[in-house]
A and B are shown apart, each in its own frame.
Chain A
């Protein structure tokens, strides 16, 4: 979230789309109801199902799964046509006026640079026109046809209300009603908050779903505003934190990345990852990348990282491609993988095409499970009848199952969706011989290190050089690790503004990331966490819930990254001249010397209003991007592409380019895609209020609340297929089948799309062959093995099935 949970109460309009906060994030959603009660806010829900969020909404519009870009592009078209957006904000704070490369074009579903042979884009034309200084050219009159705003207007012109209705199945009057609501917040003193979750990410076009909404937020002037923002309601309690510390194939902590094999030296790597400003007078904060990277390397390797060895550059693995889980399980299925670790992760349940996942795990030599609970993955080799019909004797995988503590039995910090790092404490000992994940990792690592010391082996240097300066090598303490994440001074760090004074003395915890250095005199494992454990102690455990402004910015509660800032881009809550767009939402003010207020300024503190510096300080041009340059895989503007399994079998906008051309699908998986002839119904998976993923099937109270697997179908489909409420049905896709009780409901209606009826089948995910709830089928038996073109997040939300009475 650019904002945070409590801030939702400041919104005038709350749009829930690609999510179902009332059921998946029930307590957070209370702040939307608070906005409705106290702020007379309206709630809109756009969803294939009439969810519990919809049941408390002021307006509900149905939509076919996988068509959000068409819908939102129609909204952008409406806003531009009616002039119902914040024009001053758009001109000053977005790249609307910047001029785009003359070679950039879009035609029949493809952007310029497409190579039909390699099926790849050359993104060179997805760029700005630059002047002789290397800065982007702009036309503040917006007369130039190559202005971003004009190109965007042209791009979305196709998404008329009729086209939206035809693609999305949303009745035109319902779509226009939503447009009116959203347009009403283009005023300076009104904001919209968009709440979304996996309903937007889990598509082959997931990233662009979110981007389309972000463009609307920029046009409305809602970024940086209390009650505005782009608010991802994340799925797990620390999925934010694990992303922050970079546990993704090509990442390092703090949104730094691992070097690729093309970056053969530290210099070429830093050159590639340190952006140059694209406009005059900008902060371009990523220019500090070398400070962040070198400080991270000092945390990794300690004294072993020196200027002479490029801070241990060779000790980091260099990638040739991303090894996301879809690619990796495909490799595993081909027999190219020998070992796998699942730490608190249940891939048999969580990844698409369960049968492929089980077949892949069956080819491993060894699998290590670390979990507090029995998972379906840990017994993938066991025959569970129809739900997992395998031959144990033929599966040669050695499976180690290691018991871990759960939340209640350990301490540390987790990061909520609002970027709050909250410390928690241990309340009891773990059952039996269970250990913390930290002790287990330390146990395995120290054993490996000893083996290499004794026997030698392949490139042992990084293993031996890794910094492991913990009091007990077998049991590093959460406090020690948290202090490493914050970072410390390795030498006295002079204060450049106050000669003779120091930002930190040698050995002290750093006060924040502004103290980081690129010369090896600071260590910090995650620069965005710098400030979380300072000389003043653990900031994440703070408990002052006072809210002096009434806007919900409790700066004394826990600690938010970065710099304890609660609302990102908050300089944009003021006009360029420093006056707030809306006085009652004042977050920061210029006091004549610096910015200050009820939030930590997201700006150069002493940069006066009216200067050239723009509020989006992490961007090289300082502006919010309506045109995404080369940052997205499938194009600088969002375009509607059908799901890989489409219930209409075509793309009405450009029948030759049906699906996302930049998405990757492996050969065997493409062969396992179904068509509407055999699998006519649009299916989508989702979560229930009473359950959390695949954990709570192990939890008695939740198992009692929702004991048995079911699927939801509308009355129209039920009638067609002769299915009654409570019947057992078989739901099949090209990849497998599940059996479940049928819930026949008015909440899912038949939609008219491209001249045909489209029925949806709703599939809650929470059952499996392990647990204290009734045994069930893993819903991901059905889902396709294809992901978003940028993130490779699987398309769990849009695929095809057939339904029969079992």
Chain B
């Protein structure tokens, strides 16, 4: 039987009967002093860093789901990390909204393509996306790769395709991107540091 705290007090009428009712097991869902269970108690805590500015505030993300194979985790709360030497638990108005970033209705969920001249995106599979992009790369690179410049010097560059890298992505992503672009011969490579 679920009895709310308010119902419980009403039931007891402030009389001695209360103790008896409690003894019979008709207690509120949680301890009397509490309205409901503290929701973060059953959440997993994960340490992360705010992705916005360069202060690098530590954050704690709380998610439901116990990590079991079929349990889908879901982040329900984000707050500043009190142990972090820079932010000491604080977040600014930008960082305070991080949960709404994670759950933004404008998160992208599926690979899509907008065909030439079209007015809309259509969903495609990852395999189709990779295959078509790889074909574009190869076609353009094969047609425009420059092995030697006008003086006959080996230059091995590909100038007709460029790449903007993400300055909120990790160093590890950055390194793999660096390998990718240079092995293809790209020089039109920049990140937000340019602007």
- Interface centre among B91, B104, B131, by most chain A C-beta atoms within 10 angstroms, is B104
Taking the closest CB of chain B, its distance from the CB of A646, in whole angstroms, is: 22
Is B174's beta carbon under 8 Å from chain A? yes
Taking the closest CB of chain A, its distance from the CB of B80, in whole angstroms, is: 8
- What's the Cα separation between A734 and B99 when bound, in Å? 40
**Which residues of B sit under 8 angstroms from A702, Cβ to Cβ?**
93-94, 97, 100
Taking the closest CB of chain A, its distance from the CB of B116, in whole angstroms, is: 4
Is A666's beta carbon under 8 Å from chain B? no
With A242-B193, A382-B119, A705-B93 already in contact, the answer to whether A422 and B108 are too (CB < 8 A) is no
Interface contact A400-B106, CB-CB below 8 Å = no
Q: List 13 A-B contacts (CB under 8 A).
A: A5-B86, A27-B55, A242-B171, A247-B190, A323-B187, A339-B160, A341-B163, A347-B164, A368-B133, A374-B108, A400-B113, A417-B56, A547-B85
Nearest-neighbor residue (CB-CB) of B108 within chain A: A403
- Interface centre among A30, A452, A459, A691, by most chain B C-beta atoms within 10 angstroms, is A459
CB-based closest 10 A-B pairs: A432-B109, A344-B166, A416-B56, A412-B170, A403-B108, A701-B97, A339-B161, A427-B46, A26-B92, A447-B134
Stretch at the interface among A39-47, A112-120, A207-215, A388-396: A388-396
**Which residues of B sit under 8 angstroms from A381, Cβ to Cβ?**
114
With A427-B44, A427-B46, A794-B195 already in contact, the answer to whether A241 and B170 are too (CB < 8 A) is yes
- What's the Cα separation between A4 and B94 when bound, in Å? 21
Interface contact B171-A434, CB-CB below 8 Å = no
- What's the Cα separation between A8 and B109 when bound, in Å? 41
- Interface centre among A324, A402, A418, A689, by most chain B C-beta atoms within 10 angstroms, is A402
Is A342's beta carbon under 8 Å from chain B? yes
Nearest-neighbor residue (CB-CB) of A345 within chain B: B164
B interface, CB within 8 angstroms of A: 44, 46-58, 61, 63, 65, 72-75, 78, 83-87, 90-102, 104-119, 121, 126, 129-138, 140-142, 144-145, 147, 149, 153-195
Partner of B176, one of A323, A373, A442: A442
Stretch at the interface among A127-135, A476-484, A599-607, A716-724: A476-484
Interface contact A437-B116, CB-CB below 8 Å = no
- Interface centre among A258, A418, A436, A458, by most chain B C-beta atoms within 10 angstroms, is A458
Partner of B167, one of A238, A406, A448: A238
With A249-B187, A701-B97 already in contact, the answer to whether A323 and B159 are too (CB < 8 A) is yes
Interface contact B191-A261, CB-CB below 8 Å = no
Interface contact A699-B58, CB-CB below 8 Å = no
- Interface centre among B105, B136, B168, by most chain A C-beta atoms within 10 angstroms, is B168
With A247-B190, A339-B161, A529-B171 already in contact, the answer to whether A403 and B51 are too (CB < 8 A) is no
- What's the Cα separation between A320 and B137 when bound, in Å? 22
- What's the Cα separation between A403 and B52 when bound, in Å? 19
Partner of B52, one of A350, A409, A695: A695
**Which residues of A sit under 8 angstroms from B192, Cβ to Cβ?**
235-236, 239, 242, 345, 350
Nearest-neighbor residue (CB-CB) of A553 within chain B: B85
Beyond contacts A248-B191, A412-B172: 12 other A-B pairs, Cβ-Cβ < 8 A, are: A25-B54, A31-B86, A241-B167, A242-B171, A245-B174, A314-B156, A343-B164, A373-B107, A407-B51, A422-B56, A465-B183, A484-B175
Partner of A248, one of B50, B112, B179, B189: B189
Taking the closest CB of chain B, its distance from the CB of A441, in whole angstroms, is: 5
- What's the Cα separation between A244 and B173 when bound, in Å? 12
Interface contact B85-A320, CB-CB below 8 Å = no
**Which residues of B sit under 8 angstroms from A699, Cβ to Cβ?**
97-98, 100-101, 104
**Which residues of B sit under 8 angstroms from A432, Cβ to Cβ?**
107-110
- What's the Cα separation between A237 and B55 when bound, in Å? 7
Interface contact A28-B86, CB-CB below 8 Å = yes
Partner of A462, one of B47, B99, B137, B183: B183
Interface contact B73-A427, CB-CB below 8 Å = yes
Interface contact A400-B133, CB-CB below 8 Å = yes
Is A318's beta carbon under 8 Å from chain B? yes
Partner of B195, one of A325, A421, A433, A698: A325
With A248-B191, A324-B194, A545-B85 already in contact, the answer to whether A237 and B53 are too (CB < 8 A) is yes
Is A351's beta carbon under 8 Å from chain B? yes
- What's the Cα separation between A325 and B162 when bound, in Å? 9
Is A572's beta carbon under 8 Å from chain B? no
Interface contact B162-A323, CB-CB below 8 Å = yes
Interface contact B52-A692, CB-CB below 8 Å = yes
Partner of B63, one of A236, A249, A320, A427: A427
Partner of B164, one of A342, A412, A771: A342
With A264-B153, A696-B94 already in contact, the answer to whether A552 and B173 are too (CB < 8 A) is no
Partner of B94, one of A250, A434, A441, A690: A690
**Which residues of A sit under 8 angstroms from B156, Cβ to Cβ?**
314-318, 459, 462
Is A451's beta carbon under 8 Å from chain B? yes
**Which residues of B sit under 8 angstroms from A562, Cβ to Cβ?**
none
- What's the Cα separation between A721 and B77 when bound, in Å? 48
Is A793's beta carbon under 8 Å from chain B? yes
**Which residues of A sit under 8 angstroms from B101, Cβ to Cβ?**
373, 406, 695-696, 698-699
Is A255's beta carbon under 8 Å from chain B? no
Interface contact A319-B92, CB-CB below 8 Å = no
Taking the closest CB of chain B, its distance from the CB of A354, in whole angstroms, is: 13
Interface contact B56-A420, CB-CB below 8 Å = yes
With A343-B165, A410-B170, A425-B46 already in contact, the answer to whether A248 and B106 are too (CB < 8 A) is no
Nearest-neighbor residue (CB-CB) of A339 within chain B: B161
Interface contact A485-B175, CB-CB below 8 Å = yes
Interface contact B47-A425, CB-CB below 8 Å = yes
Nearest-neighbor residue (CB-CB) of B105 within chain A: A772
Taking the closest CB of chain A, its distance from the CB of B135, in whole angstroms, is: 7
A424-447 interface (Cβ within 8 A of B): 424-429, 431-438, 441-445, 447
**Which residues of A sit under 8 angstroms from B149, Cβ to Cβ?**
261, 320
Taking the closest CB of chain A, its distance from the CB of B182, in whole angstroms, is: 6
Is A365's beta carbon under 8 Å from chain B? yes
Taking the closest CB of chain A, its distance from the CB of B195, in whole angstroms, is: 6
With A238-B167, A434-B107 already in contact, the answer to whether A406 and B51 are too (CB < 8 A) is yes
Is A86's beta carbon under 8 Å from chain B? no
0/1 interface trace, chain A 706-738, chain B, CB 8 Å (1 if under): 000000000000000000000000000000000
